[in-house]
Chains A and B, each alone.
Chain A
């Protein structure tokens, strides 16, 4: 059974409810979201190139926050996360606090995930980048499989009637390819979440790791339609931060970037992302 057959098995009863509407995002706003995402990826790449064996997850995440603050970011959707080694696949995570950057020290062979979500000039981005400091064949294979999902997800968005189908189709493919579904471990088990322009973003976020801006952005819109979970109900148009997270032996791998869904279809905001073109010195 193919992944699109999974979509075909879904009932049509909510078709009218989930049919397309017009998107509120105009080209000028897309440009601003793109600037925000580019800044976030710029941060991840620069810190990745500075990263040394012996750094802790906490230090790495703080360094990213510092970098973004120095580049004009005044608040965050969520503060930066860094996960090393087996923590990249959320091995043994039981509580919400387990996701926070820890004192885990980076080893030479570790796979690393950097994830941050700055609000830049009022525009949110949320990015994730997986890499290693030395060549890693298993990581290369997993990255090739991850990029298959980068191709697949926009198609799934176009074909699906409701986004819960996308979640289930991705899960189906993950299992078929013998990976664990790590994004199911996130709060609410989300494959992604909507992002918006944030008013009053110059005010500090107060709470960590998720700011009051994040809570306001999601809760004021009803929360569940904002989260791409297994049981999602709601329209699909808008901007989504999509974060498929695959788990395999000893490590996890993810990317996170903005998917634009409007009357013209579903497409990634830009292809200028480091998982498509690994920066020098990183693997």
Chain B
């Protein structure tokens, strides 16, 4: 894989870039405990026709951690990613398809809300935007599935928790995780806990900015995901934008385990979004 390493705002930053400058851009963001390699099946599928960019979150691979939680904030992420896009040769006027997995959903949501003119569409893959996550986390079933968030957001103890229990837990509930994650080190998983800590504070303090992006979004969920409960159609009202919900047979890492089906859905969404470019006021509708 063609990984780029550059210093961005003082920190070493790593991202996958296939270098297809000028082609439509797809931006992938991995979650926890992951790295850009989790998208390898999508890279194979879209490599020829698209400019693919997939950054590592801070603390993963060669992307350096920041001091404290400072570089895990939504604003830091937005500043970092605008720089990544610029250095990848993505023009300011190019519209981008964003694909988020797991905890990266809120980050992609914030980015797309800040720069609506750069967004062609957003795909949340077993992931949710912050507005939806705050609502869903109050539902008993999702609360049960999210039990691990409490130990994850507890400073210091969370590192022990991950080192002692994460592997056993994933082996028990997500055995397929180990098929595609042989490159991830425990240290990297522990580094990513900072994102949980930041999101934990945001869950409490989050003050939504006015929604400036009414971009079309697609939510894809695996019906056997042990961490994310599939939202109901009525929950999607929170998003206030055109969105489609797709539920498929699968677990948490469906982009890897169910890649053929996921790629087919992504291809359909991306093609439809590209066709729609130029239509300034797409008809608002909800499909669930």
Contacts and interface: CB of A to CB of B under 8 A. Distances in A.
A71 B9 contact: yes
B179 to A, nearest CB: 37
Interface stretch (A49-57, A84-92, A176-184, A243-251): A49-57
Interface residues of B, number: 18
Interface residues of A toward B: which range?
10 to 19
Interface in B115-130: 115-117
10 contacts: A52-B115, A59-B75, A63-B79, A66-B79, A69-B70, A70-B10, A70-B66, A70-B70, A70-B71, A71-B9
Contacts of B78: 63
A67 interface: yes
A56 B209 contact: yes
Given A69-B70, A71-B9, A72-B10, A54 B212 contact: yes
Nearest to A67: B79
Contact of B73 (A50, A55, A66, A105): A66
B202 to A, nearest CB: 13
A67 B79 CA distance: 8
A62 B117 CA distance: 21
A53 B113 CA distance: 11
Contact of B116 (A54, A56, A59, A70): A54
B210 A54 contact: yes
A63 to B, nearest CB: 5
Given A59-B114, A70-B71, 14 more contacts: A50-B82, A52-B114, A52-B117, A52-B212, A53-B212, A54-B116, A54-B209, A55-B209, A56-B210, A59-B75, A63-B78, A63-B79, A67-B9, A70-B70
Given A55-B114, A55-B209, A62 B10 contact: no
Contacts of B212: 52-55
Contacts of A53: 212
B41 to A, nearest CB: 33
Which 6 interchain pairs have the tightest Cβ spacing?
Answer: A54-B212, A66-B75, A70-B9, A63-B75, A105-B210, A66-B76
Interface string B61-78: 000001000110101101
- Which secondary structure characterizes the binding site on chain B? helix
Interface of A: 50, 52-56, 59, 62-63, 66-67, 69-72, 105
B11 to A, nearest CB: 8
A204 to B, nearest CB: 11
Nearest to A74: B67
A105 B209 CA distance: 9
Nearest to A54: B212
Nearest to A62: B75
A72 B117 CA distance: 30
A38 to B, nearest CB: 16
Nearest to A59: B209
Given A66-B73, A70-B9, A71-B10, A52 B116 contact: yes
Nearest to A50: B82
Contacts of B9: 67, 70-71
Contacts of B66: 70
Interface string B39-83: 000000000000000000000000000100011010110110010
A71 B71 CA distance: 11
B36 to A, nearest CB: 22
A50 B116 CA distance: 12
Q: Which of B71, B73, B75, B210 has the most CB of A within 10 A?
A: B75
Contacts of B73: 66
Nearest to B9: A70
Contacts of B115: 50, 52
A54 B210 CA distance: 7
A54 B118 CA distance: 14
A55 B212 CA distance: 8
Interface in B83-97: none
B225 to A, nearest CB: 32
A191 B76 CA distance: 34
Q: Which of A50, A70, A71, A72 has the most CB of B within 10 A?
A: A70
Nearest to B11: A70
Contacts of B75: 59, 62-63, 66
Contacts of B116: 52, 54
A36 B212 CA distance: 34
Nearest to B67: A69
Contacts of A63: 75, 78-79
Contacts of B76: 66, 70
A71 B10 CA distance: 7
Nearest to A65: B75
